[in-house]
Chain A
Amino acid sequence: MSKFKKKKSGGQPAISTASLPDIVFMLLFFFMVTTVMREVDLKVEVKRPEATEVNKLERKSLVSYIYIGSPKSKFQDRFGTADRIQLNDAFATTNDIIQFVEAEREQKDPAEVPLMTFSIKADKEAEMGIVTDVKQELRKINALKINYSTYKTDKIVD
């Protein structure tokens, strides 16, 4: 019996927590590197539709976003509920798109301008009229590479 007693009294050595900060720092750096701060405040409601044949958007720095949807409830008294376009942080009309594209192009390396993609993030309830107008404007300024932002799903339903 004395054998057991001896062990108990000795006790297990406490696990060293000295390396805990290192582990936490490792996680911290991982999240710091992968995190993407949201650049814009969404002023329109965007619930993306779903699709099966999706591609991943590569080179995020070369992607510019055009949001289309109904204004969020806090903006509805001023802007109504009809579908609106949002560029950067402000509501816009179709006439602003050409200027927006030019401004976006100016920020980028001239060699990379042909690789730029314009991602249309439209609400699934939005009407095609406004989306078509946006597409026509993009065609006018020769910004032909576009992407309809969707979620990935396995099956399309009616």
Chain B
Amino acid sequence: MGRRSAPEINAGSMADIAFLLLIFFLVTTTMDVDTGLTRRLPPMPEEEIEPDDVKVKQRNIFQVLVNMNNDLLVEGEPMLVTELREKAKEFIIGDPTFQDETFPEGKMTEIPGLGNLKVSKQIVSLQNDRGTAYEMYIKVQNELVGAYNDVRDEFAIERFGKTMKQLEDASEKSSKAKQQLKAVKKFYPQRISEAEPKNIGE
């Protein structure tokens, strides 16, 4: 039975091997989190429906045009991107009494938890040229989405004492927060309409 015990394998280089692998994964790993503006495209219109059927009053529309030189025209006035957010917020909030002719009309809407309220019939219309730079388009989109987010935030704080982010976090657990979140979204619905592509400013 003279079985000799096998010599123990030296595990000292285990660390080296592990280090080698570690460095490989360190180098190949990409930690970037994908972020971006999430939007929903409108469905393609049914062919029978003429697009001209829907008429919206001028005072309800906030018109944003971007031409091929990346110039911004907001409600007929040239403007810088940095000024767009304030202007858009002003329009979205509008006139609380709905008397002012320059701001959108109101419409009685039932909002769960808040009762019947007059909700602004605002629509933001964005139109860009085929030659507009993507960067400019994203900036404008960003400012318009930001304006809605700001307005909603202000409303949520005024009514419920919480920011939208807090409501969103709480909505997973409490149905009350969920309802409040819905109410804010219903009071200030995000209506960014993108016109069918067109060549402007040529």
Interfacial residues, chain A to chain B (CB-CB below 8 A): 17, 20-21, 24-25, 27-28, 31-32, 34-38, 49-57, 60, 63, 68, 117, 119, 122-129, 131-132, 135-136, 138-140, 142-152, 156-158
Contacts and interface: CB of A to CB of B under 8 A. Distances in A.
B15 A24 contact: yes
A60 B34 contact: yes
Contacts of A38: 30
Contacts of A145: 38, 40-41
A55 B129 CA distance: 26
Contacts of A124: 133-135, 138
Given A128-B131, A136-B197, A17 B15 contact: yes
B80 interface: yes
A79 B11 CA distance: 54
B111 to A, nearest CB: 24
- Pairs of residues from A and B, 10 with the lowest C-beta to C-beta distance, nearest first: A129-B130, A124-B135, A31-B25, A57-B34, A51-B142, A35-B29, A24-B18, A149-B36, A128-B132, A54-B35
B143 to A, nearest CB: 7
A107 B71 CA distance: 42
30 contacts: A24-B15, A24-B19, A24-B22, A31-B26, A36-B29, A49-B134, A49-B138, A53-B145, A54-B37, A55-B36, A56-B33, A56-B34, A57-B33, A57-B34, A57-B36, A117-B38, A124-B134, A127-B130, A127-B133, A128-B132, A128-B133, A128-B197, A131-B134, A143-B41, A149-B36, A150-B35, A150-B37, A150-B142, A152-B35, A156-B82
Contacts of B81: 156, 158
B15 A54 contact: no
B128 interface: yes
Given A28-B21, A28-B25, A35-B29, A148 B131 contact: no
Contact of B39 (A28, A31, A148): A148
Contact of B139 (A17, A35, A49): A49
Nearest to B82: A158
B7 interface: no
Contacts of B201: none
B134 A128 contact: yes
